[in-house]
Amino acid sequence: MGERKYFGTDGIRGRVGDGPITAEFMLKLGWAAGQVLGCGRRNSVVIGKDTRISGYMFESALEAGLSASGVDIRLLGPMPTPAIAYLTRTLHACAGIVISASHNPHYDNGIKFFSAQGAKLPDEVEQAIEDALDQPIVTVDSSRLGKAERVVDARGRYIEYCKSTVPASLNLSGLKIVVDCANGATYHVAPSVLDELGADVVAMGVDPDGLNINHECGSTEPARLQALVREQQADLGIALDGDGDRLIMVDHMGELVDGDELLFIIARSRHQAGQLRGAVVGTHIICLDRTTTGDGIISALQVLAEMMQSGRSLHELKQGMRKYPMHMINVPVSSRVDLGAATLVQEAVKAAETRMQGRGRVLLRPSGTEPVVRVMVEGEDDVLVREQVAVLAAVVASSC
């Protein structure tokens, strides 16, 4: 397999106008994807996006490239990333394309692909698309050009799917919920899901203008949500990010309930119901018994279902989890790195694990969204954790 030039751990992402996040590249990417995926007329590609202004430009460019390769396109408009994964499956498309930079600011954008099964494309398929990008565009005969149509009921389909992931008897009547949609792709979905389940919904971050996505709102900046939960005397708050795959929550006291605590609540609920099979894996919440990818709305619904079933508040449900000190340093890197091949880094990791003596863990991973390596150490001893994360970050900085 050749060296990857464009695809990272989470698709292709960068600043709009800087290569490869340009209209010209997206045109070529659409054509290359069409060549590799070979969908044909009977099996289209679906395209969805978040609310950032550059989505219009890239949607049109991808559509043109796919059409030139003879592939039909079904346009979903602004939709959460997990909704696009779901609709790729249920519309029997051969692939799905998401135009989004997730929790990044409006001036970034990116592309993520889903397979026909609504999962991440295999590495070999992404590599084949990269290889096709090196070839000149050859447009099919005009009689074979791909056609495009807009899917008018995409929002309703996904709302019903979200509701189907919790018991049909679930009634949120009596719960006052503040939901922050980050002026992103869930702005016209998340409030409706909660409202249709009976909740008293106070919505914020639901006025996207193309530039305000993730700006002082959403899961990356929850301070306003915390204040509004207290002001409204709400039972809880839900914060999503720009594309709807990330989630944090706020209890009735305005205290944050982070991803680890939410994972604990959902896993304990499954365990008590005899539905937990195998290990629980962090750090992203993916309810694989409900969906194929991270989904903030569906994850929130699982927590709400446990609240209603147990009769306990979110504040009460998060009790019982012992959290160890955890520190993370984002180390800037100039290019894509292979940590497994960095001998000094691997030796430093082993040394840190030895120092932790089985009472903690070390995690290093390149970010899928930024040119950084995330260095995280967690353990019982806060002083030791701080010491080791600093040592590891220094080694990564000097080696990568």
Which residues form the catalytic set?
Answer: 102
Neighbours of 1 (CB within 10 A): 10
CA dihedral 60, 66, 72, 74 (to 10 degrees): -40
- Integer-rounded Cα radius of gyration of the chain: 22
| Residues in the chain, overall count | 400
Token readout for 184 is: 């992103």
Centroid of chain to Cα 158: 16
* 166-183 exposure pattern, b = at least 16 Cβ within 10 A, e = fewer: beeeeebeebbbbbbbbb
The one-letter code for the residue type at 263 is L
Instruction: Show the 3-state SS of 25-78.
Output: HHHHHHHHHHHHHCCCCCCCEEEEECCCCHHHHHHHHHHHHHHHCCCCEEEEEE
Q: CA–CA separation, 400 vs 397, rounded Å?
A: 6
- Alpha-carbon separation of residue 337 from 16, 108, 286, 308 (angstroms): 23, 21, 26, 45
Q: CA–CA separation, 77 vs 203, rounded Å?
A: 21
Neighbours of 105 (CB within 10 A): 15
What are the residues whose beta carbons fall under 8 Å from the beta carbon of 328, sequence distance 6 or more?
374, 375, 376, 377, 389
Q: CA–CA separation, 130 vs 127, rounded Å?
A: 5
Contact 8, 368 (CB under 8 A): yes
- Write the burial class of residue 259 (CB in 10 Å: 0-12 exposed, 13-18 middle, 19+ buried): middle
